[in-house]
Structure 1
Amino acid sequence: AFNEPGRFTAMIGYEWTSVPGGNNLHRNVLYRDGKDKADQVFPFSAWQSEDPEKLWAWMAAYEEKTNGRLLAIPHNGNLSNGRMFELVDFEGRPLDRDYAERRARFEVLQEIIQTKGNSETHPSLSTNDEFAGDLGVAGWDYGNLTLEGEPESPGMRPTMYLRSGLMRGLEQEAKLGVNPFKFGFIGSTDVHNSLSAIEEDNFFGKLLVQEPGPHRWEHVSKEGFGKTRYTWHYLGAGYAAVWATENTREAIWDSMHRREVYGTSGTRIRLRFFGGWGFTEVDAQTRYVADLGYAKGVPMGTDLPDRPAGKSPSFLVAALKDPMFGNLDRIQIVKGWLGADGKAQERVFDVVWSDPERRKIGTDGRLTPVGNTVDVANATWTDSIGATSLATVWTDPDFDPDQRAFYYARVIEIPTPRWTAYDALRFGVEMSPDVPMVQQERAWSSPIWYTPGR
Structure 2
Amino acid sequence: MRVTLTRGGAAVAVCDQGKADVMGRSKTAQRRMSAGLVAAILLFSASDIFAFEGNLAPEIDARTGDYSPFVGRAYPDQVLFGDLHFHTKLSFDAGLVGTSLSVHDAFRVARGEKIISNTGQPVQLIRPLDFLAITEHAEFLGVATALKGSDPRLLGNEAGRRIYDQFNAGQEGRMAAFADIIEMATVKGVDPFAHLGLADSIWTDLLPVIDEYNDPGTFTTLAGFEWTFTPKGDNLHRIVLFRDDADTTSKVRPLSFFEAPDPELLWDYLAAYEESTGGRAIAVPHNANMSNGLMFSDRMFNGKPMTRSYAAKRSRWEPMHEMTQIKGDEETHPLLSPDDEFANFETWDVGNLSGTAPKTPEMLQYEYARSALKLGLKLGQDLGVNPYKFGLYGTTDAHTAIPTSREDNYFGKYQHTEPSPDRHNFDVIPAEDPALRIVTAQESAAGLTAVWARQNTRGEVFDALTRKEAYATTGSRIRVRVFGGWNFDADDIGVSDFVALGYRDGVPMGGDLTNAPAGGAPRFLVSAARDPDGANLDRVQIIKGWVDASGKTHERIYDVAVSDGRTIGADGRCREAVGSTVDLETATFTNSIGDSSLSAHWMDPAFDPAEAAFYYVRVLEIPKPRWTTHDAAFFNIPLPKTVPPTVQDRAYTSPIWYAPEG
TM-score strictly above 0.5: yes
Residues 432 and 250 of structure 1, relative CA distance in 2, 3 Å threshold = closer
1:87 is displaced (CA, Å) by 1.5
User: What residue is the counterpart of 2:311 in the other structure?
Assistant: 100
Q: Aligned match of 1:279 in 484, 488, 500?
A: 488
**1:191 has 2:398 as partner:** yes
Are the equivalent residues in 1 in contact too, given 2:241–2:281 (CA < 8 A)?
A: yes
SS of the aligned residue for 1:272 comes to strand
Q: Aligned match of 1:200 in 400, 407, 412?
A: 407
Are the equivalent residues in 2 in contact too, given 1:316–1:394 (CA < 8 A)?
A: yes
User: What residue is the counterpart of 1:260 in the other structure?
Assistant: 469
**1:453 has 2:453 as partner:** no
1:273 is displaced (CA, Å) by 0.7
1:107 is displaced (CA, Å) by 0.3
**1:388 has 2:599 as partner:** no
1:364 is displaced (CA, Å) by 10
Q: Aligned match of 1:343 in 546, 552, 556?
A: 552
**1:412 has 2:623 as partner:** no
Are the equivalent residues in 2 in contact too, given 1:359–1:370 (CA < 8 A)?
A: no
User: What residue is the counterpart of 1:443 in the other structure?
Assistant: 651
User: What residue is the counterpart of 2:277 in the other structure?
Assistant: 66
SS of the aligned residue for 1:175 comes to helix
SS of the aligned residue for 2:601 comes to strand
Are the equivalent residues in 2 in contact too, given 1:350–1:367 (CA < 8 A)?
A: no
For 2:346, the aligned partner's letter is G
- Unaligned runs of 5+ residues in structure 2 are 1-211
Residues 51 and 363 of structure 1, relative CA distance in 2, 3 Å threshold = closer
Q: Aligned match of 1:152 in 350, 355, 359?
A: 359
1:39-60 C-alpha deviation (Å, 9 max, x unpaired)? 1122211121221000001111
SS of the aligned residue for 1:326 comes to coil
Q: Distance in 1 between matches of 2:317 and 2:572?
A: 42
1:343 is displaced (CA, Å) by 1.2
**1:39 has 2:250 as partner:** yes
Are the equivalent residues in 1 in contact too, given 2:482–2:509 (CA < 8 A)?
A: yes
1:383-414 C-alpha deviation (Å, 9 max, x unpaired)? 11100000011000000000000000000000
SS of the aligned residue for 1:179 comes to coil
SS of the aligned residue for 1:315 comes to strand
Q: Distance in 1 between matches of 2:247 and 2:542?
A: 43
Q: Distance in 2 between matches of 1:419 and 1:337?
A: 36
User: What residue is the counterpart of 1:400 in the other structure?
Assistant: 608
1:85 is displaced (CA, Å) by 0.7
1:19-40 C-alpha deviation (Å, 9 max, x unpaired)? 1111111111011111111111
Are the equivalent residues in 2 in contact too, given 1:273–1:315 (CA < 8 A)?
A: yes
Q: Distance in 1 between matches of 2:404 and 2:367?
A: 28
Q: Distance in 2 between matches of 1:315 and 1:270?
A: 17
For 1:439, the aligned partner's letter is V
**1:76 has 2:275 as partner:** no
SS of the aligned residue for 2:453 comes to coil
Q: Which one has the bigger helix percentage?
A: 2
For 1:104, the aligned partner's letter is S
For 2:507, the aligned partner's letter is V
For 1:187, the aligned partner's letter is G
CA RMSD of aligned residues (A): 1.4
User: What residue is the counterpart of 1:241 in the other structure?
Assistant: 450
Question: What is the number of equivalent residue pairs in this alignment?
Answer: 449
User: What residue is the counterpart of 2:515 in the other structure?
Assistant: 306
User: What residue is the counterpart of 1:57 in the other structure?
Assistant: 268
For 2:282, the aligned partner's letter is L
Are the equivalent residues in 1 in contact too, given 2:530–2:536 (CA < 8 A)?
A: yes
User: What residue is the counterpart of 2:375 in the other structure?
Assistant: 168
1:431 is displaced (CA, Å) by 2.9
Equivalent residues in 2 for 1:296-375, closer than 5 Å? 296-356=505-565, 358-361=566-569, 365-375=573-583
Q: Distance in 1 between matches of 2:570 and 2:233?
A: 44
SS of the aligned residue for 2:282 comes to strand
Q: Distance in 2 between matches of 1:129 and 1:382?
A: 26
Is the radius of gyration larger for structure 1 or structure 2? Answer: 2
**1:218 has 2:218 as partner:** no
Q: Distance in 2 between matches of 1:44 and 1:107?
A: 16
Q: Distance in 1 between matches of 2:549 and 2:298?
A: 21
Are the equivalent residues in 1 in contact too, given 2:559–2:568 (CA < 8 A)?
A: no
User: What residue is the counterpart of 1:288 in the other structure?
Assistant: 497
Q: Distance in 1 between matches of 2:533 and 2:453?
A: 23
SS of the aligned residue for 1:12 comes to strand
1:306-346 C-alpha deviation (Å, 9 max, x unpaired)? 11221100011110100111100000000000023211111
User: What residue is the counterpart of 2:137 in the other structure?
Assistant: none
Between 1:256-265 and 1:8-17, the stretch displaced more is 8-17
SS of the aligned residue for 1:10 comes to strand
1:289 is displaced (CA, Å) by 2.9
SS of the aligned residue for 1:378 comes to coil
**1:423 has 2:614 as partner:** no
SS of the aligned residue for 1:155 comes to helix
1:147 is displaced (CA, Å) by 1.1
1:176 is displaced (CA, Å) by 0.6
1:398-446 C-alpha deviation (Å, 9 max, x unpaired)? 0000000000000000000110111001111013434321010100000
1:248 is displaced (CA, Å) by 1.0
Between 1:181-190 and 1:279-288, the stretch displaced more is 279-288
1:159 is displaced (CA, Å) by 0.8
1:269 is displaced (CA, Å) by 0.5
For 2:241, the aligned partner's letter is L
1:67 is displaced (CA, Å) by 1.1
Are the equivalent residues in 2 in contact too, given 1:360–1:368 (CA < 8 A)?
A: no
Determine what percentage of the aligned residue pairs are the same residue: 48
TM superposition score normalised by structure 1: 0.97
**1:379 has 2:590 as partner:** no
Q: Distance in 1 between matches of 2:570 and 2:586?
A: 33
1:272-301 C-alpha deviation (Å, 9 max, x unpaired)? 011000111101223423212111200000
1:194-241 C-alpha deviation (Å, 9 max, x unpaired)? 011111111110011111111111222223333221111001120000
SS of the aligned residue for 2:430 comes to strand
Q: Distance in 2 between matches of 1:443 and 1:100?
A: 28
Instruction: Kindly indicate whether structure 1 or structure 2 has the higher relative contact order, using CA contacts under 8 Å at least 6 residues apart.
Output: 1
For 2:453, the aligned partner's letter is A
Equivalent residues in 2 for 1:119-138, closer than 5 Å? 119-133=330-344, 135-137=345-347
Are the equivalent residues in 2 in contact too, given 1:362–1:368 (CA < 8 A)?
A: no
Which 4+ residue blocks in structure 1 deviate beyond 4 angstroms? 362-366
Q: Distance in 2 between matches of 1:448 and 1:272?
A: 12
For 2:285, the aligned partner's letter is P
